[in-house]
Structure formats: C-alpha cells, structure tokens
Chains A and B, each alone.
Chain A
C-alpha cells in the first residue's frame, strides 16, 4: 500500500500569514493527489485536484505543488474561514490512502 505521510499534524497560524502542508508519498503517485478541507461535522470539500489544479470556487490564495515525492498545499494570506482539517488523498492505486490530516487553527 502507498503510505501518505502528512505534516504537520496541527498548527496555529496568524491571520494574513502563509502556511504550507506537505504529504510525502512512499511510492510514485504521478500527481494523482488531491487536497480536501473538512470543517467540524461536515463532509470533506475538494480544494486541489491532480496536485496543482484549483477546484472551481476555491479561493486563489490556495495552491498546490509537487517536488519529487512531496506534495504541498499552500495557503497565502490566511483568513479565518480557512480553519479546519486538511487531508491529502492519493488515487494512483488501490487501496486509496489518505494523509493523517492537519488541523489548522488561527492564532
């Protein structure tokens, strides 16, 4: 199975700051990676697909990138509505596997 190692597990960030979450894949997943935001008591919401593509309706302060086996989600100029838990998902091969999640709070 492909392991997705996500970091950090939690972080507190000031409004207006820049923040990056990283998922490292244990095998090549060839950009078959997406990022999701989950608010309390809500289902996950797609933010980034195929590693670097912004889903329709997602603010442009969100972006995705790849460096080797590391996939990153960056939030520029953090806003209060960005709090929540962020997950990565690899869908290169079965079983699909998720990162362990990053809880983002406002400082």
Chain B
C-alpha cells in the first residue's frame, strides 16, 4: 500500500489549490479515504472524508471552502482548497480508512503554506 500526496505549495490568502493523493497497492475504489492536516508544531486535525460510494463529510472549519473528491479510474483522491486562510497552513495527509478499525495507511504529507 502506498499513498503519495502532491500539489502543495505557497499560495496567497483567498486563492485556491488542489491536492492529489495517488494510491497504489490496494483496490482504491473499495476504501473510504480521509484528509487530515497538521499545522507546524501542532497536533492532528481531521479535515474531510469520502466514502467508497463518494459520500462526503467535512470539518466545520473547512465546510464550504474545501471539496474532497475521488477518481477511482485514476486511483486518486483529491482535495480542492478554496478561499484559503493563513490558518489553513499545514501539512496535509491522506489516509485510508480500514473498515471500522482505524486509519491504517497514511501518505507522507504535502505542505500547504498560505501567506502573502
């Protein structure tokens, strides 16, 4: 199992960014997937979830600004980040949901920095 995030970078407040998480080593379409973020030197914050059937759930802090999606044909998870704020600055991880057990595999993370 491998999860590889990409698409991060430095972006100005109010702008947009799209993160990708490329999955391999498992049947991607069968698993729910999460995005979790970690501000520099801080703890972990859950961001969003998409089920195998593409149902979605969002943290209040990002609802209406971020959109999680998936392309099962490309084995890729996405996170569209709009109207970015400085407080969105963090490392963003994608993680696989293992049934009702845990988030069992995590990507290496991608840094998003929101600054003027």
> A-side interface residues toward B, CB under 8 Å?
32, 34, 42-46, 49-50, 53, 55, 87, 89, 91, 94-101
* Contact between chains at B102 and A95 (CB < 8 Å): no
Q: Is residue B103 contacting chain A, with contact meaning CB distance below 8 A? A: yes
Task: Return 7 A-B CB contacts under 8 Å, by A number.
Answer: A34-B103, A44-B93, A49-B102, A50-B100, A91-B102, A95-B57, A96-B49
User: Known: A43-B108, A44-B44, A101-B43. Is A94-B103 also a contact (CB below 8 A)?
Assistant: no
Q: What is the interface of chain B mostly: helix, strand, loop, or mixed?
A: strand
Q: How far is the CA of A55 from the CA of B60 in the complex (A)?
A: 31
- Which of B44, B45, B49, B93 is A94 in contact with, Cβ under 8 Å? B49
Chain B contacts for A101, CB-based, 8 A: 43-44
Chain B contacts for A43, CB-based, 8 A: 93, 106-109
Chain B contacts for A91, CB-based, 8 A: 97, 100, 102-103
> B-side interface residues toward A, CB under 8 Å?
34, 43-46, 49, 57, 59-60, 93, 97-98, 100-109
User: Known: A43-B93, A43-B109, A95-B60. Is A89-B43 also a contact (CB below 8 A)?
Assistant: no
User: Known: A43-B106, A89-B103, A94-B49. Is A49-B98 also a contact (CB below 8 A)?
Assistant: yes
* Contact between chains at A95 and B59 (CB < 8 Å): yes
Q: How far is the CA of A41 from the CA of B110 in the complex (A)?
A: 11
- Which of A34, A50, A96 is B46 in contact with, Cβ under 8 Å? A96
User: Known: A94-B57, A95-B59. Is A87-B102 also a contact (CB below 8 A)?
Assistant: no
- Which of B43, B46, B104 is A95 in contact with, Cβ under 8 Å? B46
Chain A contacts for B103, CB-based, 8 A: 34, 44, 46, 89, 91
What's the nearest-Cβ distance from chain A to residue B96, in Å?
Answer: 10
What's the nearest-Cβ distance from chain B to residue A55, in Å?
Answer: 7
